Amino acid sequence: MGRLFGTDGVRGVANDELTPKLAMELGQAGAYVLTKENAHKPTIIVGCDTRISGGMLANALMAGICSVGANAVYVGVVPTPAVAYLTRAYGVDAGVVISASHNPVEFNGIKFFNSEGYKLSDELEDEIEALIHNGMEGVTFPTGKDVGKVKYRMDASEDYITFARNSVNVDLTGMRMVVDCAEGASYYTAIETLRELGADVVPIHANPDGTNINDKCGSTHMEELMRRVVEEKAVVGLAFDGDADRLLAVDEQGNMVDGDQLMAICGNYMKSQGKLKKDTIVATVMSNLGFFLMGEEKGITIEKTKVGDRYVLEHMKEIGANIGGEQSGHIIFLDENTTGDGLLSALHLLEVMVKTKKPLSELAKVMEVLPQALINAKVPNDKKESYMEYPEIAKAIEELERKFAGKGRVLIRPSGTEPLVRVMIEGKDQKVIEEEAKKLADLIMKTIA
């Protein structure tokens, strides 16, 4: 059996790979591992995104939590970063989010936070996984008054809104913006926060029905938002993903502004205010080459990690940085929250726009985005890590690296959450890099059948 935990919790098709039985076992093992040092009766917060399978999995998970003697607090539909914040704010022992982030509706996932609101280390995940594989050996299941109970708390969204509003000092009065909530967890919290700060908000995809999450909308499908910003004569467009831990933006001319550009804009502003710790931003190997060149030009150190916001966060903590993230829009502002937070990212971006009085199109020029082609090769999940073991693939990659050496770069990596190998090439000529990326992705799919 492969490892249950990927780069972002346990993911799979709900009721197929991620069954209620597995959710219950994760509740049992997670509650046991995360609270076994506690002398008191532990409490774990549980929240979910808008997927139809969320209630099914949340109830199974909470049954597991209660069956080992811990209490569960269900906070309903809230963004992933809200659970990270509320875990700390409510002083509980752990938090769990039921979400598959930007993935389609049939997927779901289970992600744990420790008592400080941080994602779990590989070691803790391995411990949880080992317990499940060993049939909960050594875990006691209490009876009678020692069984855990479920409490329902419906004020959590308001507490998160208050936190977000107080985190960034910005007045948005008169700013017209189009906000795409991806039919996901930000449909209430983001719109309400921005309106309370004075913004003139045009919401789109903010009517979740359980089945439409991420469906041709949100940060993975920006076309409609780009069009609407221009039509509405808005100064900015904001796009969240299903669980609202990501943000991408659109400038007033309808151009997309990605996570690298957002970090460059916010990082440079923080530096000008003396608030960029160590004059450093932490990014991943997938960040655009133009982002690293911007760092050299502006006197900002860009530290690189492997892909996954958890690795960005680990490195930020290690070196004492306070901003880091990914091109995809996961941006961590560590002074305020312990995970990627789309709403906080939006507020920081809007703060720069308000304080500098510059349009987003001008702010985005802080870095030149070099052409990039990213093609996904769909492969069996159990073979995605071993792509270099196929001689024809290894040879093709080596030839590509030789071809682009000094004029760009080639990056091939398995996805942490999906059955994919991602092929990314950067260079000067968009047409050439797209052709080469597609050719390699086709070879990988054909070879790893």
User: Where in the sequence numbering do the catalytic residues fall?
Assistant: 101
The CA distance from 77 to 59, in Å, is 13
At 1 the pLDDT is: 46
Give the chain's mean pLDDT: 94
Q: Write the DSSP string, 361-424.
A: HHHGGGS----EEEEEEE--GGGGGGGGGSHHHHHHHHHHHHHHTTT-EEEEEE-SSSSEEEEE
- pTM of the entire predicted model: 0.89
The CA distance from 157 to 153, in Å, is 10
Least confidently predicted of 4-13, 59-68, 435-444: 4-13
Q: How many CA atoms lie within 13 A of 125 on its CB side?
A: 18
Q: What average pLDDT does this structure show over 142-162?
A: 96
pLDDT at 54 over 90: yes
The two counts, helices (H) then strands (E), for the chain are: 14, 19
pLDDT at 269 over 90: yes
* CATH number for the domain whose boundaries are 5-154: 3.40.120.10
The CA distance from 420 to 379, in Å, is 6
Its CATH architecture, for the domain 372-447, is 2-Layer Sandwich (3.30)
Please check whether the two domains, 163-366 and 372-447, share a CATH topology. no
Residue among 110, 107, 95 at smallest CA distance from 53: 107
At 2 the pLDDT is: 65
At 82 the pLDDT is: 98
At 413 the pLDDT is: 87
pLDDT digits (tens, 9 = 90+) for 297-353: 999 999 999 988 889 999 999 999 999 999 999 999 999 999 999 999 999 999 999
Please indicate whether residue 229 or residue 413 has the higher confidence score (pLDDT): 229
pLDDT digits (tens, 9 = 90+) for 314-323: 999 999 999 9
The CA distance from 225 to 117, in Å, is 32
Percent of the chain with pLDDT strictly greater than 90: 84
Tokens matching residue 330: 């996961």
Least confidently predicted of 79-88, 158-167, 253-262, 289-298: 289-298
- In CATH terms, is domain 163-366 a member of 3.30.360.10? no
pLDDT at 146 over 70: yes
Q: What average pLDDT does this structure show over 385-408?
A: 88
pLDDT digits (tens, 9 = 90+) for 177-201: 999 999 999 999 999 999 999 999 9
The residue behind tokens 């987003």 is 360
DSSP 94: E
pLDDT digits (tens, 9 = 90+) for 118-143: 998 889 999 999 999 999 998 999 99
Q: What average pLDDT does this structure show over 432-449?
A: 92
At 46 the pLDDT is: 98
Domain-wise residue ranges, the chain: 5-154, 163-366, 372-447
pLDDT digits (tens, 9 = 90+) for 84-117: 999 999 999 999 999 999 999 999 999 999 999 9
CA 444 from centroid of its chain's CA atoms: 27
Tokens matching residue 76: 């309903």
